[in-house]
Amino acid sequence: NAGVTQTPKFRVLKTGQSMTLLCAQDMNHEYMYWYRQDPGMGLRLIHYSVGEGTTAKGEVPDGYNVSRLKKQNFLLGLESAAPSQTSVYFCATTNGLGGYNTGELFFGEGSRLTVL
Amino acid sequence: DAKTTQPNSMESNEEEPVHLPCNHSTISGTDYIHWYRQLPSQGPEYVIHGLTSNVNNRMASLAIAEDRKSSTLILHRATLRDAAVYYCILRALNDYKLSFGAGTTVTVRA
């Protein structure tokens, strides 16, 4: 099992360009998340999804859009990249809290984005 | 949202125990206490979680104060591989979001 896979792992963009980060999971988890992590800081939640076809805003949603058309995929889009969006982006999944679920988040390896 | 307070950094010697404190004085009765760690250049990984009772697993132990306003993550014998940022997080029962603060950077000396 691959777990949580993020593509691409590295990308350099010019200001104003657009791009999409893909998060794919093979664990059949309901919940998926996109975080960003700036140097020396903790993770901040951008958007999340509680199931196929749903999305919701996190702490820092401005400048990003997301889609969850298929249960296994969660896409993060930047329509017009800005230098302030230079960061490492992490995708995470969980199957929820309750019953036999521990609420454990499984993270991808991260995608490093640089906007010039 | 209930907040947590952790020291910025801690140092330990290899093969000695590490006690990582976390204060969460505004915790509510249904908040779970979760711990994650992030090794250099990797995504965070789950360590342990608990509600009221102390918990043990293969990675660590979690000691929760009786009033639940604080908790301590215990690494019984630190190894160089335990050098990481450790995050203490509160998660409400019906809240599907986890917010990560700055965490505690643990350095392990050989």
| Cα–Cα distance, B15 to B76 (Å, whole number) | 8
Residue B92 — very low, low, confident or very high, per pLDDT cuts 50/70/90? confident
Contact yes or no for B44 and A98 at CB 8 A: no
Of A42, A106, A110, the CB nearest to B100: A42
* Amino acid A96: pLDDT: 74
Q: What is the mean pLDDT of residues B52-56?
A: 93
Q: Taking chain A, what is the end-to-end CA distance rounded to the nearest angstrom? A: 36
Is the pLDDT reported for residue B94 higher than 90?
Answer: no
Model confidence pLDDT, tens digit, residues A41-71: 889 999 999 999 999 999 999 999 999 999 9
Beta-strand ranges (E) seen in chain A are 4-7, 10-13, 19-25, 31-37, 43-49, 56-57, 65-67, 73-78, 87-94, 97-98, 101-102, 106-107, 111-115
A31 touching B (Cβ < 8 Å)? yes
Q: What is the mean pLDDT of residues B21-36?
A: 93
A116 touching B (Cβ < 8 Å)? no
Contact yes or no for A90 and B43 at CB 8 A: yes
The alpha carbons of chain A give a radius of gyration, in whole angstroms, of 14
Contact yes or no for A50 and B98 at CB 8 A: no
- Residue with the larger pLDDT of the pair B93 and B3: B3
Residue B98 — very low, low, confident or very high, per pLDDT cuts 50/70/90? confident
- Inter-chain CB pairs, A–B, below 8 Å: 56
Is the pLDDT reported for residue A1 higher than 60?
Answer: no
For residue B81, the SS3 value is helix
Name A7's Cβ contacts closer than 8 Å, sequence gap at least 6: A21, A22, A24, A111
> Which residue matches tokens 């140092």?
B11
Mean pLDDT of chain B: 92
B102 touching A (Cβ < 8 Å)? yes
Is the pLDDT reported for residue B1 higher than 70?
Answer: no
By mean pLDDT, which of A99-103, B55-59, B78-82 is the weakest? Answer: A99-103
